[in-house]
């Protein structure tokens, strides 16, 4: 009597393995997305600080006492082209704006802010907005709309500077 033993996995065993992989993925993917949002927010904070430093340099050099726009700072090579066009094309998931430019010297004003490019869903790029004014204090909160003016930026809570 010849009996052949077939080796391999049964359909049930394969389904159990697939179910286990699915459970592990369901646990890991939300953490991965949260890590991406946190990285985007860290990049946004760094970029806002860069905009403040670049604008201070612009004011004391090419601006002759006045602050500059994104395009003006990019034209003076104070910021790179990615950040210089971040009002139109997102940089690390955030849209940046420099506005409220006025006055010269000690009375010069400006504010910069950034908001997530995608504010909801699985592809959400951030959970906070950030802003800074000529005072140099980084501010932010969880409201995802753009602040209206420099006073609105100053009203945001200060972050760990």
Q: pLDDT by residue (tens digit) across 132-151? A: 999 999 999 999 999 999 99
Residue 1 lies in a domain: no
- Going by pLDDT thresholds of 50, 70 and 90, the confidence category of residue 117 is very high
Residue 1 pLDDT? 60
Residue 4 lies in a domain: no
Strands of the sheet containing 109-116, edge to edge, are 94-102, 109-116, 129-133, 139-141
Residue 6 lies in a domain: no
- Going by pLDDT thresholds of 50, 70 and 90, the confidence category of residue 161 is low
What predicted TM-score, i.e. pTM, was given to this entire model?
Answer: 0.83
- Going by pLDDT thresholds of 50, 70 and 90, the confidence category of residue 114 is very high
SS3 20: helix
Q: What is the pLDDT of residues 57-101, one digit of tens each?
A: 999 999 899 999 999 999 999 999 999 988 888 899 999 999 999
Rounded to whole angstroms, the Cα distance separating 54 from 11 reads 62
Residue 3 pLDDT? 67
Show contacts of 144-147: CB within 8 Å, 24+ apart. Answer: 144/115, 144/116, 144/119, 145/115, 146/97, 146/113, 146/115, 147/111, 147/113
Range of the domain at 65: 11-155
Residue 145 lies in a domain: yes
- C-alpha distances in Å from residue 16, one per residue of 22, 23, 133: 10, 11, 57
Residue 2 lies in a domain: no
Residue 38 pLDDT? 94
Task: Provide the domain count of the chain.
Answer: 1
Residue 35 pLDDT? 93
């Amino acid at each position: 009597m010849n009996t052949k033993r077939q080796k391999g996995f049964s359909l049930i065993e394969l389904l159990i393995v697939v179910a286990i992989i699915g459970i592990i993925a369901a646990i890991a993917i939300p953490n991965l997305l949260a890590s991406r949002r946190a990285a985007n927010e860290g990049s946004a904070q760094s970029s806002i600080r860069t905009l403040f430093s670049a604008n201070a340099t612009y004011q004391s050099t090419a601006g002759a006492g006045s602050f500059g726009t994104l395009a003006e700072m990019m034209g003076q090579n104070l910021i790179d082209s990615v950040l210089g066009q971040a009002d139109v094309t997102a940089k690390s998931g955030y849209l940046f704006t420099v506005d409220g430019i006025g006055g010269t010297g000690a009375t010069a004003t400006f504010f910069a802010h950034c908001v997530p490019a995608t504010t909801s869903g699985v592809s959400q790029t951030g959970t906070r907005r950030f802003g800074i004014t000529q005072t140099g204090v980084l501010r932010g909160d969880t409201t995802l709309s753009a602040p209206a003016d420099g006073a609105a930026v100053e009203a945001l809570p200060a972050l760990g500077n």
